Structure 1
Amino acid sequence: MAELAAADTAALPAPTAPPVEDIGLYAYPAWSAAFVSAMARRAGIPESDLPSEAAHAFYIDALLWRAAADPQGARFLPHDPAERTPRPGDLLCADRSARPLEHWTMRLLETGRSRPMHCDVVVRTAPEVVEAVGGNVKDVVALRRLPADSQGRVLPAPPGQARLLLLLAARREG
């Protein structure tokens, strides 16, 4: 009987560890837009003022169209980052595509189409520095210190880094 068992097991392949699951898209989940949405809800900003989306480009589209349709009632107003000093609660958005848009208004021409973008929430400003928090920055929530001019406007990104395209200024209550 032992000889039979040995013969049977000799024909079987050697035991190996199970293969690593191919998680494909889940290897690096995109959750930075969800982070911005979650922070908006925690700050009391309703879904109608900043919709939850799986990608930054789509809530940016909604905010741009809302600002165009109702500038007096829109919670966020778009600006060129070089022309305005950000304040806490504002969103600073970058175009991470291989062919970035020249100006934020060009996004209105491609509404609803995907574009790799990223937004951070401004948490503190001072002359020569703007601090902003973003999600899914190398798979963590990260505080970035962005160089600014003496008035607090964010300076252009160095070559090779995503260029800030848009400042969505949060309307202050009261």
Structure 2
Amino acid sequence: MSDAQVASLIHSAETEWVRWGAMRAYGLPGNELCLVISDGSCQDVQDGCGQEQTTALCPLVDEYWAQVRYAFGHDCTRNDVCEWQWPGPDEPVTTSAWSAAFISAVMARAGISQTEFRRDHRHAVYIAAARDGQASAYEVVPTPAMAAPGDLICAGRKSGSGWPSHITPATIAHVMAGVGMHCDLVVSMDPTHNTLDAIGGNVKQTVARTTVDLDEMGRVSFDLDRGRKWVLVMRARRASPQLVDR
């Protein structure tokens, strides 16, 4: 991947982040996340209750779905109320997780082709494609691993999501389409504080920027247990490699 492609990818992600109001998510001890709101407090946001169901922003989610040709998309006809509080006799319509569609849309808008990155509504599909040499822009490296802007960091989804949550760095060879995953795009590094910033979609039902602590060697680690348990880095194959694990 060229420097220009990496720059375009980061610009694409940051543009979407600003469109959603430049929200920040905060990692709490115990593998939890909360969303920092305007008064400075940090709140949990229930599925279907956040910005994804507002009249202004719900259509943006469907823009992401269009990049992966997902048949269901988002129901944007009943907005500005939590999905589980929708009035009427009908059962609430469950919103689909759109974080992989967001990553796929960011890749497409940055000009990353399907042969370079396998766009899909499931993170595990594009992870497996890169791991198995079916997509050329990324390699898959288990954590602990160095990361740089333009890379993806990926974790297993929690057991409450209905997907397996037992993926570890040692078992990434077994990641298949049915395994629940979440990935964010690394957009900046802060060597002074030994952190990185990453942007992801469907993070507390918005597009959010999260600061991730690195280990003492500056690597993304599974064992830090703050916000998410990162199991792998999808490292961009750069024309001039920047990092070597140490």
Q: Name the TM-score, length of structure 1 as normaliser.
A: 0.73
Q: Distance in 1 between matches of 2:100 and 2:176?
A: 17
Match of 2:202 in 1: 136
Match of 2:179 in 1: 115
Match of 2:128 in 1: 61
Q: Pick the aligned partner of 2:104 from 18, 30, 37.
A: 37
Shift of 1:133: 0.3
Q: Distance in 1 between matches of 2:109 and 2:119?
A: 13
Shift of 1:78: 1.2
Q: Pick the aligned partner of 1:103 from 152, 155, 169.
A: 169
Count residues with an aligned counterpart: 146
Q: Distance in 1 between matches of 2:175 and 2:239?
A: 31
Shift of 1:93: 0.2
2:152 corresponds to 1:91: yes
Computed over aligned residues only, the root mean square deviation of the Cα atoms, in angstroms, reads 2.3
Identity, % of aligned pairs? 33
Shift of 1:81: 2.7
Match of 1:51 in 2: 118
SS of structure 1 residue aligned to 2:106: helix
Q: Check the 8 A contact 1:91/1:122 in 2, yes or no.
A: yes
Match of 1:22 in 2: 91
Letter in 1 for 2:121: A
Letter in 1 for 2:239: E
Q: Check the 8 A contact 1:92/1:164 in 2, yes or no.
A: yes
Q: Distance in 2 between matches of 1:137 and 1:117?
A: 13
Letter in 2 for 1:169: R
4+ residue runs over 6 A deviation: none
Q: Distance in 2 between matches of 1:145 and 1:64?
A: 26
Shift of 1:52: 1.6
Letter in 2 for 1:141: V
Letter in 2 for 1:108: A
Match of 1:170 in 2: 236
Q: Distance in 2 between matches of 1:46 and 1:95?
A: 26
Q: Distance in 2 between matches of 1:151 and 1:108?
A: 25
Q: Check the 8 A contact 1:77/1:170 in 2, yes or no.
A: yes
Shift of 1:149: 3.3
Q: Does the C-alpha gap of structure 1 residues 154 and 108 become closer, same or farther in structure 2, counting only changes over 3 Å?
A: closer
Name structure 1 gaps, 5 residues minimum: 1-17, 68-72
Shift of 1:102: 2.7
SS of structure 2 residue aligned to 1:61: helix
Q: Name the TM-score, length of structure 2 as normaliser.
A: 0.53
Match of 1:70 in 2: none
Q: Does the C-alpha gap of structure 1 residues 87 and 20 become closer, same or farther in structure 2, counting only changes over 3 Å?
A: farther
Q: Distance in 2 between matches of 1:133 and 1:79?
A: 19
Could you say which structure has the larger radius of gyration?
1
SS of structure 2 residue aligned to 1:59: helix
Shift of 1:20: 5.4
